[in-house]
Amino acid sequence: MIKDLAAREDGSVSVSGWVEKVRDQRYVQFVVLRDETGAVQLVNGGVLREADPENPRSDILLERTTTISELSHGSFVTVSGELQHNERVKLGGVEIQIEQLEVVSRALPDTPIAKDSGSEHRLDWRFLDLRRPEQNLVFRVQTTFLNALRQVWVERDFIEVQTPKLMASASESRAELFEVDYFDGQAYLAQSPQFFKQMAQAAGFGGIFEVGPAFRADPSFTSRHATEFTSIDSELSWIDSHVDVMELHEELIVAGLTAVKEKHGEAIQKLFGVEVNVPSRPFPRIPLAEAKEIVKAEGYEVPRADADMDPEGERRIAAHVQQKYGSDFVFLTDYDASIRPFYHMRHDDDAQLTRSYDLIYNGTEISTGAQREHRIDVLEAQAREKGMDPKELNFYLDFFRYGMPPHGGFGMGLNRVLMLMLGQSSIRETTFLFRGPNRLTP
């Protein structure tokens, strides 16, 4: 791999990769070759433009010169040659003197996208867009982040589950359901693994986690919404309140960002101009009503008093927290029951408030968590209060009729976390293949 060349001694070497740039000069040719780990400069010093009968290597040199001159951007080649360390070479301090070059797969001469192409056009050619070092880094960061989270879960003896994405009924709001034909009936794409996470608590699994797809029939075209996204979910039993869930959430976030900073911090700074900040624990925690008052005092009033914090309110409270506490994260807690699902537990001393939270990261909500209501009579009453018929929820409510421990959990959008961590403008840049209201390809 190209990243390994700097550590090798001078000598024979073979590399493969995509042609990124060709500089075809009169007496020397340079090729920048890139694989998934980096780029290296290739040098052809044996340039020959026409046959030379007195040179026994004339045919070889002429063919090589012609081949390099005709190389198109993106062609995949294999090169053998002499590795040389040269501190004057800006690209890694090494170069390869070409001895043999094989064109394994020739690219069409007209590249369909350029660096300045708009995001939608780049998404049309996503496999080419992903060759950019920035995009490659996004998914290396994603891998490191998820691996760090998984280590925390495994060390705490959590169980990984894979819940079904075809459901017989809604898991959240019917307003955002994708309906699909299912033999002689209808099924729905899962909006979240919520019900199945809670089933695992009734099954005695205790702590569980899942990283998997979720689907929302949301016609939004914003920078942070998608119709299919990757959801990070966790649920655990034997909790006293939603504070236990927040503490687990903090532990995971800190572990993930620490791993990313240690492994990719320098590359992120170089390619994105962003420093990865690892937050201190505990994260600031502010009740929603108090957060609204704070932003109101600073000049912004959330349009509806009985609604969630809107995007501008999130940005304002995040700026306040950053200034006051120096934290990129803040938990907004104690949401009104009117804007939370029926299965969120209420406070004992105020039934209008739920034991729930949203986690805000760099001014944008990335997660919702809560303690769940585990008492069947209370759960049924709260469903009726929301205008739902408990009979339609029987498969879910059965979980609570045979012994359910106190439990809670959260769901977090992976692509949003990456977007905010890397300072990107849209989750389109941090999603392998984006799905939105007008995008089903590639």
Whether the per-residue pLDDT at 170 is higher than 80: the answer is no
**What letter represents residue 95's amino acid?**
E
What percent of the chain stands above pLDDT 90?
Answer: 89
**What letter represents residue 104's amino acid?**
V
Whether the per-residue pLDDT at 173 is higher than 80: the answer is no
216 is in an annotated binding site: yes
d(CA 130, CA 432): 8
88 is in an annotated binding site: no
Q: Pairing relation of β-strands 346-347 and 208-215?
A: unpaired
Mean pLDDT, the chain, integer: 95
Q: Over the chain, what HEC string results?
A: CHHHHHHCCCEEEEEEEEEEEEEECCCCEEEEEEECCEEEEEEECCCCCCCCCCCCCHHHHHHHHHHHHCCCCCCEEEEEEEEEECCCCCCCCEEEEEEEEEEEECCCCCCCCCCCCCHHHHHHCHHHHCCCHHHHHHHHHHHHHHHHHHHHHHHCCCEECCCCCEECCCCCCHHHCCEEEECCEEEEECCCCHHHHHHHHHCCCCCEEEEEEEECCCCCCCCCCCCEEEEEEEEEECCCCHHHHHHHHHHHHHHHHHHHHHHHHHHHHHHHCCCCCCCCCCCCEEEHHHHHHHHHHCCCCCCCCCCCCCHHHHHHHHHHHHHHHCCCEEEEECCEHHHCCCCECEECCEEEEECEEEEEECCEEEEEEEEECCCHHHHHHHHHHCCCCHHHHHHHHHHHCCCCCCEEEEEEEHHHHHHHHCCCCCHHHHCCCCCECCECCC
Tokens for 167, please give them.
């459901």
Report residue 171's pLDDT band, with 50, 70 and 90 as the boundaries: low
User: How buried is residue 39: exposed, middle or buried, by Cβ count under 10 Å (0-12/13-18/19+)?
Assistant: middle
pLDDT of 295: 96
Q: How many residues does the chain have?
A: 442
d(CA 281, CA 98): 54
Tokens for 38, please give them.
């980096």
pLDDT of 39: 96
365 is in an annotated binding site: yes
CB neighbours of residue 337 within 10 Å: 20
Domains and CATH numbers, the chain: 2-105 (2.40.50.140), 123-430 (3.30.930.10)
pLDDT of 278: 98
Q: Is residue 33 within 8 Å of residue 77, measured between CB atoms?
A: yes
Determine the straight-line distance between the first and last CA of the chain, rounded to whole angstroms.
29
d(CA 49, CA 62): 6
131: which strand partners? none
372 is in an annotated binding site: yes
User: Measured at the alpha carbon of residue 154, what is the angle toward residues 255 and 280, in degrees to the nearest 5?
Assistant: 20
Tens of pLDDT along 412-423?
Answer: 999 999 999 999
Report residue 151's pLDDT band, with 50, 70 and 90 as the boundaries: very high
**What letter represents residue 21's amino acid?**
K
Tokens for 431, please give them.
């999603």
236: which strand partners? 408
Q: What is the pTM of this model?
A: 0.94
Q: Is residue 419 within 8 Å of residue 224, measured between CB atoms?
A: yes
d(CA 291, CA 297): 10
Whether the per-residue pLDDT at 81 is higher than 90: the answer is yes
Report residue 172's pLDDT band, with 50, 70 and 90 as the boundaries: low
Tens of pLDDT along 347-370?
Answer: 999 999 999 999 999 999 999 999
What percent of the chain stands above pLDDT 70?
Answer: 99
Tens of pLDDT along 306-315?
Answer: 788 999 999 9
416 is in an annotated binding site: yes
Mean pLDDT of 328-338: 97
Tens of pLDDT along 271-321?
Answer: 999 999 999 999 999 999 999 999 999 999 998 777 889 999 999 999 999
Mean pLDDT of 169-197: 88
d(CA 42, CA 82): 10
Whether the per-residue pLDDT at 169 is higher than 90: the answer is no
**What letter represents residue 70's amino acid?**
E
Residue that the structure tokens 């909500």 belong to: 365
Report residue 73's pLDDT band, with 50, 70 and 90 as the boundaries: very high
User: How buried is residue 2: exposed, middle or buried, by Cβ count under 10 Å (0-12/13-18/19+)?
Assistant: buried
